[in-house]
Amino acid sequence: MYKERGILIVLSGPSGVGKGTVRKELFSTPETNYEYSISMTTRKAREGEVDGVDYFFKSKEEFEQLIEQGRLLEYANYVGNYYGTPLDYVNDTLDAGRDVFLEIEVQGARLVREKAPDALFIFLAPPSLSELESRLVGRGTETDDVIQARIAAAREELAMMDLYDYVVENDQVERACDKINAIVTAEHCKRERVEQRYKAMLKGDL
């Protein structure tokens, strides 16, 4: 029996561009009809962050075991900490026909591109580099060293736009969310994705 798989949606972009804010806004509205994949990380929880909601917080040893066991779709070492996407959750949810949304940094997105080329890749771009810097500083959650490292990473990350299917400028969070939802809707209408269903229908397999 034909069963449609969900779409793997990957939102990535430079550090400080507002991926987290956009993701939270997306998932705060009832129209958003996809599942957020909660990442694993070895970073310490920030104030207010909850284990199993914001991240699954892991020790370095636990994380390295997950890597060894092949239980991550992708992972990256980002500014001294591991971050990774749980493979089983993603596969099970896609198999159930639900779209899965990843909000990850660019090294990880590149790995997903290799492993799941039919995923939908959206690059969130900053309006400008100085804006990016002031957002990182304004957030006030990081030391100067970390901010400098993140800005250096962001310059390199901007050059990686060419790996993506769509670019959404994050000039206003709500506008960016509207664009992302529109992109996902359009992706569901893509002939390549839809034709399998029609073929199954014609074969009486639906």
Which of the residues 160 through 179 are near ligand 5GP (CB under 6 A)? none
Nearer residue to ligand 5GP within complex by CB, 108 or 126: 108
Does position 35 interact with ligand 5GP (CB under 6 A)? The reply is no
Q: How many residues does the chain have?
A: 206
- Closest by alpha carbon to 40, among 62, 25, 20? 62
Asked if residue 15 lies in contact with residue 105, where contact means CB atoms within 8 angstroms, the answer is yes
Does position 108 interact with ligand 5GP (CB under 6 A)? The reply is yes
Contact range with ligand 5GP by CB under 6 A, out of 24-32, 60-68, 81-89, 177-185: 81-89
Nearer residue to ligand 5GP within complex by CB, 6 or 108: 108
As measured in angstroms, the least distance from the Cβ of 184 to ligand 5GP is 18
Does position 104 interact with ligand 5GP (CB under 6 A)? The reply is yes
**Phi then psi dihedrals of residue 86, to 5 deg:** -65, 125
Contact range with ligand 5GP by CB under 6 A, out of 71-79, 128-136, 160-168, 177-185: 71-79
Is residue 80 marked as binding?
Answer: no
Does position 135 interact with ligand 5GP (CB under 6 A)? The reply is no
Does position 58 interact with ligand 5GP (CB under 6 A)? The reply is no
Q: How far apart are CA 127 and CA 17, in angstroms?
A: 9
Which member of 43, 98, 188, 197 binds ligand 5GP (CB under 6 A)?
A: 43
> Which two three-digit tokens encode residue 157?
């990350």
Does position 18 interact with ligand 5GP (CB under 6 A)? The reply is no
Ramachandran region of residue 125, left (φ > 0), alpha (ψ -120 to 50) or beta?
Answer: beta
Does position 78 interact with ligand 5GP (CB under 6 A)? The reply is yes
Which member of 19, 66, 100, 184 binds ligand 5GP (CB under 6 A)?
A: 19
**Phi then psi dihedrals of residue 118, to 5 deg:** -90, 5
* Residue 158 CB coordination number (10 Å): 17
Tell me the binding residues for ATP.
13-20
The contact set with ligand 5GP (CB under 6 A) reads 15, 19, 39, 43, 74, 76, 78, 83-85, 103-105, 107-108
